[in-house]
Structure 1
Amino acid sequence: MIVIADSGSSKTDWRVIHSDGKISQHRGIGFNPYYQSSEEIGSHMRDEFLLGLQGEIREVYFYGAGCSAPSRQEEVAKAIRSLYPMAEIQVDHDLAAAAKSTCGHSAGIACILGTGSNSCDYDGKKIIATRPAPGYIFGDEGGGAYVGRKLLKDFIFDQMPAEIKKGLVDQFDLTAVKIQEQVYQKPYPNRYMASFCKFITERKSNPYCYRLFYDSFQDFLSQYVMKYEDYKNKPVSFVGSIAHYNGDILRKAATDVGIHVQLILESPIAGLTLYHQKML
């Protein structure tokens, strides 16, 4: 059996290609070796679905956020090895997953807009150029943490429509003190900030909420996509929940700066599964 995983900071999608060709799936917690040790990652992997596959797995292909550096890849591989010691394990960056799932064997620009954000220029075989991806403090334009942070900052400074502020108070019992406690004192502040994107998406017909996404997407396009050579003549595709659930705004933001959006997927896992099936 072959296991394929696509992991972001918030969730991991798993697919298993069984020896008879059948495919099973599972969604679990997300991992990022920049913020978690191999021991922490390994302990979170020990859920019922993954433990049930022990002894049967011969190959694991893991694509994850924070897995660009060899040292980080080894951290994740070590965690997987603790679960499947006899398997051949390959760990790669989530950008590779985005490129393979959206572009396949064709050239294009592949982007990620989930909890965080990233991008690459892909020639159909390999990634030929990337932009810096310094995480949610210095970057992640267009990603969920970036959009959520803008919302929470506006809440703290009372720079949002009264009905939006009331909705946040009613739904989350939100206060400035609670926001600061979550962001500065508790783990995974990026996940916390990104968690408000569902609230914003549900109200995107409101001009304020629409603008939060539109401006954030414009920031992403100018900082990432528009830095690639000949970007206007290349298909640009996106993966990630933020892109998927706000695709109408994303396409508008892209069209306004002359960018052609080819494909928007919530998750790259289906495309990755097809990619690896063809490689068998």
Structure 2
Amino acid sequence: MMLIADSGSTKTDWRLVAANGTVQTLHTDGFNPYYQTTETIIDRLRLQLLPQINGAAVQNVFFYGTGCIGPTVNYIVADALKGVFPNLLTVDVNSDMLGAARGAAGQEAAIVCILGTGANACCYADGQITRGIQSLGFWLGDEGSGGYLGKTLVRDYFQERLPDDLRAAFHERYSLDRATLLENAYQKPFPNRYFASFTPFLTEHLAHPYVVILVKEAFRLFLTIYVRRFPEAGEWPVHFVGSIAYYFADQLSQVVAEEGMTMGRILKAPAERLVEFHRL
């Protein structure tokens, strides 16, 4: 049996593919080797994944994950998978960027972008990334992501830059105080997840001019920093993968068109199309 994982900082989408072609969908927490050890990941896999596969004999695992940028950290995830599935024939750990690209573009030449909890982009052709941008993570990058949108919203709330009606609605919903904010931002793990958790407030107020400007300008900044630097930006389609691209598709499509680029596919997650990629 084959197991395919698309892992973000928040959650992991798994597909268990049987020899007869049937596909089972599974879900667990997200994994990130920058924040978690092999032992921590093993414990989480045993608690959340193994009960869902009911003793299936997994032989091949293809894992695409945030933070899996190369051998210096990928081994943390690979060793965890080997610890949980000791009879593996193949364990292949790659970046979530490659997973997004293979899912969105297949074998096509395209620019592929991630807009979820985090953000990134690459040029992709023939099953491989041909040119990429070094992601600097939440505090030094991720413009346009859920983390970035949430951080901007919360910052404007505390600095009293939100319009009065939105400020009142935000206070009523979250009753957020400065001590709680700073604890989650600087002391607790996964600050990107924390700030991304505020994006549903934006989707609920999409008709508000403040929200329209915030979202569109965040996407414009993303395209400027991550996409326009590629010479292929004016020639190749630009695909997007991730919850932020999916839920803000109208605003994203508008900005892509305004920037003179060709909008490609928008996928909430690449897992389904990754099954087809690995079946070929």
Q: TM-score range by the shorter chain?
A: over 0.9
Gaps of 5+ in 2: none
Match of 1:62 in 2: 63
1:174 is aligned, of 158, 173, 176, to 176
* Residues 36-185 of structure 1 mapped to structure 2, 5 A cutoff: 36-51=36-51, 52-54=53-55, 56-87=57-88, 88-185=90-187
Query: SS state of the match for residue 157, structure 2?
Result: helix
How big is each residue's C-alpha offset from its partner over 1:159-202, in whole Å with a ceiling of 9 and x where there is no partner? 00112111121111212332122212222111100000111111
Query: SS state of the match for residue 140, structure 2?
Result: coil
- Cα drift, residue 55 of structure 1: 5.7
How big is each residue's C-alpha offset from its partner over 1:222-264, in whole Å with a ceiling of 9 and x where there is no partner? 0011010131110000000000000100011111110111100
- The residue type paired with residue 72 of structure 1 is V
Instruction: Please state if 1:262 is matched with 2:274.
Output: no
Match of 1:31 in 2: 31
Query: SS state of the match for residue 139, structure 2?
Result: coil
- Cα drift, residue 48 of structure 1: 4.9
Instruction: Please state if 1:15 is matched with 2:25.
Output: no
Any conservation in 2 of the 1:116–1:136 contact (CA below 8 Å)? yes
- The residue type paired with residue 20 of structure 1 is N
Gaps of 5+ in 1: none
* Distance (whole Å) between structure 1 residues aligned to residue 48 and residue 146 of structure 2: 29
Query: SS state of the match for residue 28, structure 1?
Result: strand
- The residue type paired with residue 81 of structure 2 is I
* Distance (whole Å) between structure 1 residues aligned to residue 143 and residue 47 of structure 2: 33
Structure 1 range deviating more: 173-182 or 135-144:
173-182
- The residue type paired with residue 154 of structure 2 is L
* Distance (whole Å) between structure 1 residues aligned to residue 176 and residue 129 of structure 2: 42
- Cα drift, residue 54 of structure 1: 4.2
Match of 1:243 in 2: 245
1:213 is aligned, of 203, 210, 215, to 215
* Distance (whole Å) between structure 2 residues aligned to residue 12 and residue 213 of structure 1: 25
Any conservation in 1 of the 2:256–2:262 contact (CA below 8 Å)? yes
TM-score relative to the length of structure 1: 0.96
How big is each residue's C-alpha offset from its partner over 1:6-51, in whole Å with a ceiling of 9 and x where there is no partner? 0000010000001221110111100111111111111111135424
Identity of aligned residues (%): 37
CA separation of 1:48 and 1:156: change in aligned 2, threshold 3 A:
closer
Query: SS state of the match for residue 136, structure 1?
Result: helix
- The residue type paired with residue 46 of structure 1 is R
* Distance (whole Å) between structure 2 residues aligned to residue 15 and residue 206 of structure 1: 38
Q: What is the RMSD of the two structures over their aligned residues, measured on CA atoms?
A: 1.2
* Distance (whole Å) between structure 1 residues aligned to residue 234 and residue 181 of structure 2: 40
Any conservation in 2 of the 1:108–1:124 contact (CA below 8 Å)? no
How big is each residue's C-alpha offset from its partner over 1:41-94, in whole Å with a ceiling of 9 and x where there is no partner? 111111354244546011000000011111211110011111101112110111
Any conservation in 1 of the 2:35–2:189 contact (CA below 8 Å)? no
* Distance (whole Å) between structure 1 residues aligned to residue 127 and residue 157 of structure 2: 45
TM-score relative to the length of structure 2: 0.96
* Distance (whole Å) between structure 1 residues aligned to residue 121 and residue 48 of structure 2: 33
Query: SS state of the match for residue 137, structure 2?
Result: coil
